[in-house]
Amino acid sequence: MKAYVIIVLMTLTTGLVGQNMYTNPILPGSHPDPSICKAGDEFYIVNSTFEYFPGLPIHKSKDLINWELVGYGLHRKEQCTDVVNLVDVQSDGGIHAPTIRHHKGRFYIITTNVYYDEQSKTTDFVNFIITAENAEGPWSEPHRLEGAPGIDPDIFFDDDGRVWYVGTHSPENPNFEGEGEIWLQEIDLDNWKLTGERHYLWRGACGGVWVEGPHMYKKNGKYYLMVAEGGTSFNHAVMIAVSDDIKGPYLSNERNPILSTRHLSYDYWVNSTGHADLIEVDDRWFLVALGVRGDEERNSNMGRESHLVPVEWETEPFPWKKVKYEWPVVSPLSGKIDKRYPVPFEGSRQHRVTAFTDNFDDEQFKLAWCWRRVPLQNQFLLQKRKGYLRINAHPNTIKERGRANFVGFRQTESDFELETIMDFNPKSMKAEAGLVLIQKDNNYISYTVKKTKQGLLLQVSVVEPQRDKKVLHSALLQSQAKDLKLKVISQNSQYKYVYQTKGGSEELFCTSDSNLLLNRGYTGAYLGLYVTSNGSKSKGYADFDWVNYQAYSRK
């Protein structure tokens, strides 16, 4: 048995973790449903993005613990307006549970776009594939696979050259509400269509509720089917089954689930672990899985994040069994996702990225920036004023299925400092600009300057589900919003809202609880910039000089 001795050396200045250990999550912030592949000596992870654009972030690593965002699978607006609709998609719709694979020099991502049509009251599940020679892009237009029900598809390249679609759907005659079923069908990649007979493989291991997220693997001539089960909450779990034939029948592992927090206290540091993908590394195996940190009320503002766990394969020891199957054992010494593990590669050191700064000196947006749905044209301008981001005051506001002028990046820790400097001289009444911390269209905090008849009003407002917008605090500015600094400090489960006028010193404006933005959906919180004219036409705008974000890890 190996002994895991945890030695952690942390410095506030560099965020350097001790040489022999790495810390989970490996992708902090909203990075659910991780899928991983290897090409050459580099690893790649893709994650779900739901209603956000660009979609399908792709991270690259050489050591499995230091990851760099290198691009997106859905990075052009043209990819997201026809086959894939991210223009007016509903919250928690959009891009679900992708799989990324590399085969014969080409990358493949297969995934689902879920779009609810309010007029017909129907939901369209668009399962599609995009491809690229380089993970950084450019990626192809989406190739829709007609006749593919359900969500969370997997693409499997078999040794004989055949390519298979592994999907999930609700069976025709379910035994109970929420029962899922995994199905299999061959893919014709020359014509981007399913072909041949459809095979129904498995309905899960431990109750079979919401069986989803399938991944197929082949090891020593046997086919392993791994799935998520139990829903993406405290009962989330990873199950696995084996077969001699890809078409089945599949035998469930008697020791399922192979990963879960079902058996742990709700107060364990991470919960809801599941939706995993396996990767082989020089005869060793690892697993990436999502989990939710329990920083606040057994939850967190960051939502579901990506974690890395070691895996060992063990053969059943029972002498009475004629056939002894080999099974993956996840986190073999603890059976759960630990916060720290020995680094996968000797000599590697994990450098946790704790800061994000943008001075808006580049001609293009940094990759970390995201929009809720495809943004409106000519609203976010980097070249109107050198060294500034100009955001126009559009009538749209933050609302369900809307396209407001908000741009943000992922919150990566519960404790952080976020600040920006803004020039805002609104021409029209009701024009508003500043910072927004958003969990969903019906759950966000705005820290903004708004034009009123009395003058420029600085205010903090909160929107919560099923509640009207509430102003937490407001006060007239005693100066123009020229070089106005807005700052939010998250510490000890509280937000502090600070401001500084030109030539003045920082002043505390008000405070609120940080649990106003606890994870309530499939995505975590995003922090960013927002400008609106609140329904009226306007030629106004706000100029942002820079944005600075610094995150602090909790012990």
Question: If we measure between CA atoms, which residue out of 218, 297, 231 comes closest to residue 260?
Answer: 231
Question: If we measure between CA atoms, which residue out of 109, 127, 140 comes closest to residue 46?
Answer: 109
Q: Which helix (H) or strand (E) holds 164?
A: strand 163-169
Q: Which residues pair with 304 in a beta bridge?
A: 292
Choice among 51, 212, 419, 423 that is catalytic: 212
Mind giving me the DSSP string for 449-516? EEEETTEEEEEEEEE-TTS--EEEEEEE-SS-EEEEEEEEEEETTEEEEEEE-TTS--EEEEEEEGGG
What beta strand segments (E) does 75-162 contain? Answer: 94-103, 106-117, 122-132, 143-144, 154-157
Mind giving me the DSSP string for 230-293? S-SSTT-EEEEEEESSTT---EEPTT--SEESTTS-TTSSEEEEEEEEEEEETTEEEEEEEEEE
Spatial neighbors of 49 by CB under 8 A, at least 6 apart, are 55, 56, 57, 74, 94, 95, 370, 523
Whole-number Å distance between alpha carbons of 247 and 426:
64
Choice among 33, 51, 63, 432 that is catalytic: 33
Q: Which residues pair with 470 in a beta bridge?
A: 462
Whole-number Å distance between alpha carbons of 69 and 65:
13
Whole-number Å distance between alpha carbons of 444 and 227:
33
Q: Which residues pair with 116 in a beta bridge?
A: 123
Q: Which residue carries 């509903």 as its tokens?
A: 90
The 10 Å CB-count burial string (b at 16+, else e) for 339-372 is bbbbbbeeebbbebbbebebebeeeebebebbbb
The 10 Å CB-count burial string (b at 16+, else e) for 186-210 is bbebeeeebeeeebebbbbbebbbb
212 counts as catalytic? yes
CA count, 13 A, side-chain hemisphere, 129 = 27
In the numeric block, which tokens belong to residue 499?
A: 């401001």
Q: Residue 79, SS3? A: helix
Give Cα 47 distance to the centre of its chain. 5
Mind giving me the DSSP string for 389-408? EEEE-BS--S-TT---SEEE
In the numeric block, which tokens belong to residue 203?
A: 């309905």
Question: If we measure between CA atoms, which residue out of 478, 446, 474 comes closest to residue 458?
Answer: 474
319 touches 276 (CB < 8 A): no
Q: How far is CA 98 from CA 59, 101, 113, 153, 199, in A?
A: 14, 10, 10, 7, 21
160 counts as catalytic? no
User: Would you name the residues annotated as active-site residues?
Assistant: 33, 212
